[in-house]
């Protein structure tokens, strides 16, 4: 159960965690201490490292806090959260990703990591499945045939590719364009979550079932997933902007699917119109094309 922390306790806790952050420590874990009044108390397991300027012994002990599900999300800063410029913050996430070898895709023929592209302050973000051959060659998402169609979809919404942010669930090309495995998605998606928390879009459009199911952490058909908005918050990370409380997420068909079955373009257009309504976008008139 989530509870509001005593403000003084929160201040002290925040100062303590900032101190660890400054030393380059970002990962904390909680361990249950005891059950009090039906609630599990937790300890911040940063153990007994001495605190600069601390005088009392109790300050250097694990601290018991009431069970508050979000306290670490709220106050444990990721490295990118130390900068205010979102473009810079995205660069920090990219550097953190490095020459990634976290999943098997790194040894299955990828040429390069395809991180993401576009406006770091975009209101609208598109998330696809994973790079194909063209994206792998150029290092940018959606630059092949599916990308051309995505560009047309974006243009039909009355905006440009440069105004939006585009990324994928996995950042390395799966061999032969196979569907990424669940474990590959799970390994890679924390970086996408951090990108989302930096960009703070108003709306995310999940392109296809892999993106939709991974972002929403649910297993359903495209027919079940489309046609409505979901409230979305990036898992495991808070935006440094505490005023940003997540965004809306809509699901539509992947452009590669639409290339194979163009009859579904009308359905995709309905999804995009729903998004346009949310963002106050108007389709360009013929004369403004
Ligand atoms: N398909 C995707 O899902 N992503 C790309 O970047 C290109 C094709």
Using CA atoms, how far apart are residues 198 and 213, in angstroms rounded to an integer? 22
Using CA atoms, how far apart are residues 147 and 159, in angstroms rounded to an integer? 15
Residues with CB under 6 A from ligand 1: 128-132, 135, 141-142, 146-147, 168, 256
pLDDT tens digits, one per residue of 19-32:
776 666 666 656 55
pLDDT tens digits, one per residue of 140-188:
999 999 999 999 999 999 999 999 999 999 999 999 999 999 999 999 9
HSE, CB side, 13 Å, CA atoms: give it for residue 186.
Answer: 5
Inter-residue contact 68 to 14 (CB < 8 Å)? no
Distance 52 CA to ligand 1 centre (A): 49
Total number of residues shown for the chain = 289
Distance 236 CA to ligand 1 centre (A): 24
Which region, left, alpha or beta, applies to residue 71 given φ > 0 means left and ψ of -120 to 50 means alpha?
alpha
Q: What is the pTM of this model?
A: 0.78
Using CA atoms, how far apart are residues 242 and 240, in angstroms rounded to an integer? 6
Pocket test for ligand 1, best of 113, 136, 147 (most atoms within 8 A of CB): 147
Using CA atoms, how far apart are residues 246 and 238, in angstroms rounded to an integer? 9
Which secondary structure element, helix H or strand E, spans residue 101, and what is its range? none
Q: Which atom of ligand 1 is nearest to the CA of 140?
A: 6
Inter-residue contact 189 to 149 (CB < 8 Å)? no
**DSSP string of 234-279, one letter each residue:** -TT---S-TT---EEEEEE--HHHHHH-GGGHHHHHHHHHHHHHHH
Pocket test for ligand 1, best of 129, 138, 164 (most atoms within 8 A of CB): 129
Instruction: Print pLDDT tens along the chain (289 aa).
Output: 445 667 777 777 777 776 776 666 666 656 554 444 444 334 344 433 333 333 333 333 333 343 444 556 555 678 999 899 999 999 999 999 999 999 999 999 999 999 999 999 999 999 999 999 999 999 999 999 999 999 999 999 999 999 999 999 999 999 999 999 999 999 999 999 999 999 999 999 999 999 999 999 999 999 999 999 999 999 999 888 889 999 999 999 999 999 999 999 999 999 999 999 999 999 999 766 5
Distance 33 CA to ligand 1 centre (A): 46
Pocket test for ligand 1, best of 117, 132, 210, 260 (most atoms within 8 A of CB): 132
Q: Which atom of ligand 1 is nearest to the CA of 211?
A: 3
Using CA atoms, how far apart are residues 39 and 110, in angstroms rounded to an integer? 48
């Amino acid at each position: 159960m989530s509870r509001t922390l005593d403000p003084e306790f929160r201040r002290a806790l925040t100062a303590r965690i900032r101190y660890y952050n400054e030393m380059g420590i970002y990962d904390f874990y909680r361990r249950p201490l005891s059950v009090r009044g039906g609630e599990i108390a937790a300890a911040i397991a940063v153990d007994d490292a001495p605190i600069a300027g601390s005088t009392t012994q109790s300050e250097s002990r694990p601290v018991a806090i009431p069970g508050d599900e979000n306290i670490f999300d709220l106050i444990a800063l990721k490295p990118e959260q130390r900068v205010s410029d979102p473009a810079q913050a995205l660069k920090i996430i990219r550097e953190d990703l490095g020459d990634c070898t976290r999943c098997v895709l790194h040894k299955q023929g990828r040429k390069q990591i395809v991180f993401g592209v576009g406006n770091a302050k975009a209101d609208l973000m598109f998330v696809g499945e994973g790079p194909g051959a063209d994206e792998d060659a150029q290092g940018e998402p959606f630059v092949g045939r599916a990308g051309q169609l995505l560009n047309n979809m974006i243009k039909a919404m009355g905006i440009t590719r440069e105004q939006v942010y585009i990324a994928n669930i996995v950042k390395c090309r799966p061999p032969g364009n196979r569907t990424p495995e669940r474990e590959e998605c799970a390994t890679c998606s924390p970086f996408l979550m951090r990108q989302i928390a930096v960009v703070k879009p108003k709306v995310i459009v999940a392109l296809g079932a892999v993106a939709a199911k991974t972002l929403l952490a649910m297993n359903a058909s495209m027919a079940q997933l489309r046609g409505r908005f979901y409230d979305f918050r990036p898992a495991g990370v808070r935006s440094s902007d505490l005023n940003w409380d997540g965004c809306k997420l809509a699901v539509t068909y992947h452009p590669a699917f639409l290339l194979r079955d163009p009859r579904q373009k009308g359905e995709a257009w309905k999804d995009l119109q729903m998004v346009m309504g949310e963002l106050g976008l108007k389709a360009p008139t013929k004369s403004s094309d």
